[in-house]
């Protein structure tokens, strides 16, 4: 028995390290004055690095611990590494922004680390219960993060919206889980898979529960019609928090969909495929069309996220290994692009000024041509223009959809991506074709600029050599 | 010699463009020279391409093949045949001229201007040399970004409207092509063009695929009724942008028909040829009349481009009717080579005309025909060139404009008398709008004080127009080297077109 427990604990070392690290930051931060706050920042970064090292050291292949509650496979390892990387990038990007606004406090890092823990638990979940636990850890940390700027009423409002709607979604999810449990008698995803394959997949009770579970997942992802919170939260939260909310959690929600739908409820694929088709079409359509009307870049990126989520769902709903790989490729590419896009807002922001309107990017090509080009890369990539990585991510999911015979869906998706191209072009237009509105002040550190350039150039590099990413993903699924 | 010539001509300008951009506007003169050297080098590398090209075979030559995206079995696969070679040479040739033409004219962000054209050049060569459908698509779409910036940054008053319209139109056309390509990949298991040529497709599939390609290529050519982006883009683009648009980018539509539509969906092309022929004839007549009433020189030339490109699409698709009427394929080859010659000729002539307009615009800053008159009195050399290019545009025998149109009309005659009769009205309308333009701008008494103060061509402008004039006349008098290079490839294409896939 002890041996089994020891094995399980060995599999969970990254999570354990993460909890210890977060706790250390929490305790140490209490004893620091504002001038020493950098120590918390460095400790938080160190925690992520050490966690990543432990993730890399996990055994190969599929391992199960805690009586099936906890799974460590290729996908979990890959997603955890990407999550560590993207959270670390958020920290690096946010430092100057937070410091200038008097938000450079330990809680930010502690909450973000606990959110990362939630992500870790979700991607390794082997049962509906452990999954739900991860979702709540992630969600509660995010509610607090959004409200993190105490003096901002907009942030408080959006946190409240997020919390109320998020609680409803959690309720839906939990209700769905309880019905599925009631019918099948198990929380375990592996035995759930067996049940649904043996006929429970068409059981009315399971399908009823499935509808609630899909609604919960759609809410977490921000898919239409469960997207209402996305624009408000993206807009209202401090940009460095928006960046966090936009990027890393998407990895967890991808895993959530993959584990619950593709693994646990594989036998009900026909049912959830129909539901996801509706969600995907609505998300791609509404996201792209409403984004056209936005003048605030953060809101525009929020609607762009909604449409991107639609594309991720396209890959998942294909229900094929190629589709899941495509969806994961899309998710990772999206994380990379949204990190870069929000970092551009941080780059142009300064004390008392948020560069979050499209017009704040006017004339960027004249006074800071390098970063105008970096933003062009990011926008063109998100629009799906080759040779950037965003094109290949769209290619893979469209290929997956065509492969299962849903040609009309592929055509709808590409048509809306033409609509989408318009609002990305508007940003490029503001940067390259219009005259600068005022003087820009360069307040960013060298490391920030280096990371942002690296981020944007990787969007190009992963497009030219997309096999770098797709091979890694294929290996993770193996 | 085993240099990867195609890769060099593709990537040298792209990397050179990045380098020119990094030189920056602060050292504009250095950037100019660097851009010129890079473009000359690319032109230089296309000389061995022409010399070592084996014109006796339709096989792909100068082949380079490396695995690129193994996940979808797509290769970095370059190779050219007799259709691609002339277009590549036209690309490298035009880019040099565009860079010389923009030498001192461009004062706003010059290094980025030259860089954009160099990057465009590389991507366009990539389009013509890609033998892998996905690689083709990547180059095809990537090209939109530099062109978007060229029109948007250096264009005229309504440049932003024009450039966004240009981008969205072409993007909308191409996404259908992407779906068709992915669909075929899933059936064939490869993006290799040769494999797609062999792929059996039933009639419905062929029709849908044909229409998807048609959406992409008809926008690019452009054909009536999806031509409306072109007058806007041409008018608002800077001179160099108009030249590249007219000389190269429009050709990609025709190239796409020959490379994709005809060999991949031959049966659908056959059953839908009435659509393309009909739209082409409408373009010849209707757009010719529209050109007649324009008051803006660039707009007039833009409309004339649409009418001239209609001969390309007519030449591509009239072949099926020729076979139906005469029973043999010799007329089909004639029509296709007519289309090719027309593409190259139009590249030279319309490019030259846009440069002529640019010369005038640089001096008086208006493109309005009414603002000129009697230019030949103050600019005799310029007047001579403009008259020459006008004649070529009207299809005067002895100029390149005549050859292609004549071949296509001749071939159409074999198919149906009325096709030829309608197409031949271009000899009237084309002559009418071009000569009237010449009359109003170049000839007659000096129109106003602005014209009276004009200075004739400087050495740089003279050189650019002179080179084009030589090319236009050489092609008009002796087009054989060009037709010889394409002959085997076009024969092979005719074979692919006539084998049913059903």
Closest to B283 measured CA to CA, from B261, B302, B257, B309: B309
- Measured CA to CA, the distance from residue A453 to residue B47 in angstroms comes to 38
| Prediction ipTM score | 0.92
Domain boundaries, chain A: 2-477
Counting as low any pLDDT under 70, the low residues of chain A are: 1, 200-201, 439-440
**Residues of chain B found within 8 Å of residue A399, distances taken between Cβ atoms:** 72, 182, 185-186
CA B356 to chain A, closest CA, distance in angstroms equals: 26
The span from the CA of B389 to the CA of A346, in Å, is 54
How far apart are the CA of B169 and the nearest CA of chain A, in angstroms? Answer: 9
Inter-chain contact A467–B176, Cβ cutoff 8 Å? no
Cβ <8 Å between B179 and A407 = yes
Q: Which residues contact B375 (CB under 8 A, 6 or more apart)?
A: B360, B382, B383, B386, B441, B442, B451, B454
* Residue matched to tokens 């889980």: A177
Residue in B25, B70, B71, B72 to test binding to A, most A beta-carbons within 10 Å: B71
Query: Residue B81, class by beta-carbon neighbours within 10 Å (0-12 exposed, 13-18 middle, 19+ buried)?
Result: buried
Q: How many CB atoms lie within 10 A of CB A450?
A: 11
Residue of B nearest to A464 (CA): B68
- pLDDT at B352 exceeding the cut of 80: yes
Cα A135-A139-A145 angle, rounded to 5 deg: 150
B357-394 pLDDT tens trace: 999 898 888 888 888 888 888 888 999 999 999 999 98
Determine the average pLDDT of the residues in B48-55: 88
Is there a contact between B144 and A407 if contact means CB atoms under 8 Å apart?
no
Residue A164 CB contacts under 8 Å (≥ 6 apart), including other chains: none
Give the one of A414, A425, A470 whose C-beta lies nearest to B175's C-beta: A414
Strand-strand pairing, A63-65 and A70-72: antiparallel
Phi/psi of residue B65, each to 5°?
A: -145, 120
A382 touches chain B (CB under 8 A): no
Q: From the list A392, A402, A421, which residue is nearest B186 (CB)?
A: A402
State both tokens at A168.
């409803």
Copy the structure tokens of residue B261.
Answer: 């539509």
Whether residues A398 and B142 touch (CB distance < 8 A) is answered with no
pLDDT value at residue A131: 93
For B412-459, how does the pLDDT look when each residue is reduced to its tens digit (9 = 90+)? 888 888 888 888 888 889 899 999 999 998 888 887 888 888 888 888
- A381 Cβ under 8 Å from any chain B Cβ: no
Please give the Cα distance from B280 to B257 (Å, whole number). Answer: 14
Of B137, B144, B152, the CB nearest to A432: B152
Among residues A432, A364, A424, A376, the alpha carbon closest in space to that of B151 is found at: A432
Measured between beta carbons, the chain A residues lying within 8 angstroms of B205 are none
A361 touches A355 (CB < 8 A) = yes
B250 with B221: CB under 8 angstroms? yes
Mind telling me how many Å the CA of B71 is from chain A's nearest CA?
7
Rounded Cα–Cα distance for residues B432 and B454 (Å):
27
User: What phi, psi does B104 have (nearest 5°)?
Assistant: -110, -10
Task: Name A322's Cβ contacts closer than 8 Å, sequence gap at least 6.
Answer: A396, A399, A400, A403
Of A91, A81, A58, A122, nearest to A469 by C-alpha is A81
CA dist., res. B186 & res. B179, Å (int): 11
Q: Which of residues 392-451 of A touch B (CB under 8 A)?
A: 392, 395-396, 398-399, 402-403, 407, 410-411, 414-415, 417-418, 421-422, 425, 428-429, 432-433
CA–CA separation, B144 and A418 (whole Å): 13
> Which of A378, A122, A92, A225 lies closest to B145, judged by CA?
A378
Query: A385 vs B142: CB contact, 8 Å cut-off?
Result: yes
The pLDDT of residue A1: 62
pLDDT digits (tens, 9 = 90+) for A162-204: 999 999 999 999 999 999 999 888 899 989 888 888 876 678 8
Radius of gyration of chain B (CA): 22
Residue B157 class from Cβ within 10 Å (0-12 exposed, 13-18 middle, 19+ buried)?
exposed
Residue A111 has a pLDDT of 95
pLDDT band at B1 (very low <50, low <70, confident <90, very high): low
Determine, for residues A433 and B137 on separate chains, whether the beta-carbon distance falls below 8 Å: no
The pLDDT value given to residue B253 = 92
Contact B68 A391 (CB under 8 A): no
Could you give the CA distance from residue A382 to residue B483 in angstroms, rounded to a whole number? 44
First to last CA, chain A: 30
A414–B178 CB contact, under 8 Å:
yes
Burial of residue B41 (CB within 10 Å: 0-12, 13-18, 19+) is: middle
Q: What local confidence, expressed as pLDDT, does residue B442 receive? A: 87
Residues B126 and B132: their CA atoms lie apart, in Å, by: 11
φ/ψ of residue B132, rounded to 5: -120, 130
Instruction: Specify the residue for token string 């969909």.
Output: A257
Q: What are phi and psi of A442, to 5 degrees?
A: -95, 105
In chain B, the residue whose alpha carbon lies closest to the alpha carbon of A414 is: B175
Give the total residue count for chain A.
478
Do residues B154 and B241 touch, judged by C-beta distance below 8 A? yes
Around A346, how many Cα atoms within 13 Å sit in the side-chain half-sphere? 32
**Which residue among B69, B172, B175 places its CB closest to the CB of A466?**
B69
Taking a C-beta distance cutoff of 8 angstroms, is the pair A215, A176 a contact?
yes
Question: Is A25 in contact with A44 (CB distance < 8 Å)?
Answer: yes
Token couple for A324: 């899941």
In sequence order, what DSSP letters do the residues of B79-104 get, joined into one string?
EE-TTHHHHHHHHHHHHHHHHHHTTT
Residues in chain A with CB shorter than 8 Å from the CB of B132 are none
**Residue A425, CA atoms < 13 Å, CB-side half-sphere:** 26
CA A278 to chain CA centroid, nearest Å: 21
Instruction: Report the DSSP pairing between strands B74-80 and B61-69.
Output: antiparallel
């Amino acid at each position: 028995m002890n041996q089994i427990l020891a094995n399980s604990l060995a599999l969970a070392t990254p999570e354990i390290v993460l909890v210890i690290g977060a706790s250390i930051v929490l305790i140490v931060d209490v004893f620091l004055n504002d001038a020493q706050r950098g120590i918390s920042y460095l400790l938080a970064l160190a925690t992520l690095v050490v966690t990543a090292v432990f993730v890399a050291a996990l055994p190969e292949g599929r391992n199960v611990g805690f009586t099936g509650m906890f799974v460590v496979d290729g996908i979990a390892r890959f997603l955890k590494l990407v999550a560590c990387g993207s959270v670390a990038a958020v920290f690096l990007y946010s430092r100057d922004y937070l410091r200038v606004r008097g938000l450079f406090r330990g809680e930010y890092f502690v909450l973000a680390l606990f959110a990362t823990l939630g992500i870790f638990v979700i991607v390794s979940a082997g049962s509906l219960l452990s999954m739900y636990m991860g979702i709540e850890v992630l969600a509660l940390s995010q509610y607090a993060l959004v409200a993190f700027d105490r003096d901002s009423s907009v942030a408080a409002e959006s946190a409240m919206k997020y919390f109320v709607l998020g609680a409803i979604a959690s309720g839906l999810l939990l209700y769905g889980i309880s019905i599925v449990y009631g019918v099948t008698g198990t929380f375990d995803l592996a035995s759930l898979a067996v049940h649904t394959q043996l006929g429970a997949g068409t059981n009315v009770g399971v399908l009823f529960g499935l509808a609630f579970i899909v609604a919960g997942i759609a809410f977490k992802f921000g898919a239409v019609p469960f997207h209402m919170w996305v624009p408000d939260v993206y807009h209202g939260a401090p940009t460095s928090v928006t960046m966090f909310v936009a990027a890393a959690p998407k990895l967890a929600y991808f895993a959530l969909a993959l584990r619950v739908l593709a693994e646990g409820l594989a036998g009900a694929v026909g049912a959830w495929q129909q539901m996801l088709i509706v969600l995907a079409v609505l998300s791609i359509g509404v996201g792209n069309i409403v984004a056209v009307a936005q003048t605030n870049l953060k809101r525009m990126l929020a609607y762009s996220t909604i449409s991107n989520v639609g594309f991720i769902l396209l890959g998942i709903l294909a229900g094929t290994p190629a589709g899941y790989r495509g969806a994961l490729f899309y998710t990772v590419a999206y994380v990379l692009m949204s990190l870069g896009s929000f970092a551009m807002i941080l780059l142009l922001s300064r004390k008392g000024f948020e560069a979050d309107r499209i017009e704040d990017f006017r004339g960027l090509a004249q006074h800071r041509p390098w970063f105008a080009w970096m933003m062009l890369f990011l926008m063109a990539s998100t629009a799906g223009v080759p040779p950037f990585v965003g094109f290949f991510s769209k290619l893979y999911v469209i290929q997956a959809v065509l492969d299962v015979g849903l040609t009309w869906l592929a055509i709808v998706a590409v048509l809306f991506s033409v609509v989408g191209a318009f609002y990305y072009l508007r940003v490029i237009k503001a940067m390259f074709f219009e005259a600068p509105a005022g003087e820009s002040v360069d307040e960013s550190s060298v490391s920030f600029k280096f990371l942002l350039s690296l981020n944007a150039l990787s969007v190009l590099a992963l497009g030219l050599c997309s096999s770098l990413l797709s091979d890694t993903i294929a290996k993770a699924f193996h | 010699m085993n240099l990867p010539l195609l890769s060099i001509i593709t990537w040298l300008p792209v990397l050179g463009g990045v380098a020119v951009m990094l030189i920056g506007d602060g050292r504009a003169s250095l950037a100019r020279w660097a851009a010129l050297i890079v473009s000359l080098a690319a032109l230089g590398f296309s000389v061995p391409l022409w010399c070592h090209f084996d014109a006796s075979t339709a096989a792909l030559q100068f082949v380079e093949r490396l695995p690129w995206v193994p996940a979808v079995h797509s290769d970095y696969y370059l190779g050219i045949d007799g259709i691609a070679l002339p277009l590549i040479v036209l690309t490298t040739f035009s880019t040099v001229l565009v860079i010389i033409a923009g030498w001192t004219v461009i004062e706003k962000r010059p290094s980025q201007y030259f860089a954009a054209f160099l990057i465009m050049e590389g991507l366009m060569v990539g389009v013509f040399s890609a033998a892998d459908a996905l690689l083709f698509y990547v180059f095809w779409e990537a090209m939109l970004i530099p062109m978007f910036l060229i029109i948007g940054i250096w264009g005229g008053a309504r440049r932003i409207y024009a450039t966004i319209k240009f981008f969205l139109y072409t993007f909308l056309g191409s996404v259908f092509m992407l779906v068709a390509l992915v669909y075929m990949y899933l059936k064939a298991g490869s993006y290799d063009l040769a494999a797609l040529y062999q792929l059996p497709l039933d009639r419905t599939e062929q029709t849908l695929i044909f229409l998807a390609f048609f959406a992409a290529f008809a926008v690019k050519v452009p054909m009536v009724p999806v031509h409306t982006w072109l007058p806007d883009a041409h008018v608002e683009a800077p001179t160099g942008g108009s030249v590249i648009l007219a000389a190269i980018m429009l050709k990609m539509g025709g190239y796409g028909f020959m490379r994709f539509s005809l060999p991949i969906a031959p049966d659908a092309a056959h059953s839908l040829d009435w659509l393309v022929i009909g739209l082409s004839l409408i373009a010849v007549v209707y757009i010719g009349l529209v050109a007649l009433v324009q008051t803006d020189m660039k707009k007039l030339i833009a409309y004339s481009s649409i009418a001239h490109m209609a001969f390309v699409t007519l030449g591509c698709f009239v072949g099926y009717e020729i076979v139906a009427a005469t029973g043999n394929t010799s007329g089909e080859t004639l029509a296709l080579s007519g289309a090719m010659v027309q593409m190259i000729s139009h590249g030279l002539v319309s490019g030259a005309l846009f440069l002529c307009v640019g010369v005038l615009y640089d001096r008086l800053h208006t493109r309005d025909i009414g603002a000129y008159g009697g230019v030949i009195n103050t600019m005799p050399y310029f007047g001579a060139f403009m008259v020459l290019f006008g004649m070529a545009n009207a299809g005067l025998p002895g100029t390149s404009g005549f050859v292609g149109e004549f071949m296509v009309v001749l071939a159409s005659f074999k198919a149906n008398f009325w096709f030829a009769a309608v197409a031949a009205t271009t000899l009237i309308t084309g002559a009418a709008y071009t000569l009237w333009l010449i009359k109003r701008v170049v000839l007659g008494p000096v129109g106003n004080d602005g014209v009276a103060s004009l200075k004739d061509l400087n050495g740089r402008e003279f050189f650019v127009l002179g080179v084009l004039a030589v090319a236009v006349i050489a092609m008009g008098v002796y087009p054989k080297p060009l037709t010889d290079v394409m002959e085997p490839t076009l024969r092979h294409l005719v074979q692919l077109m006539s084998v049913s896939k059903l």
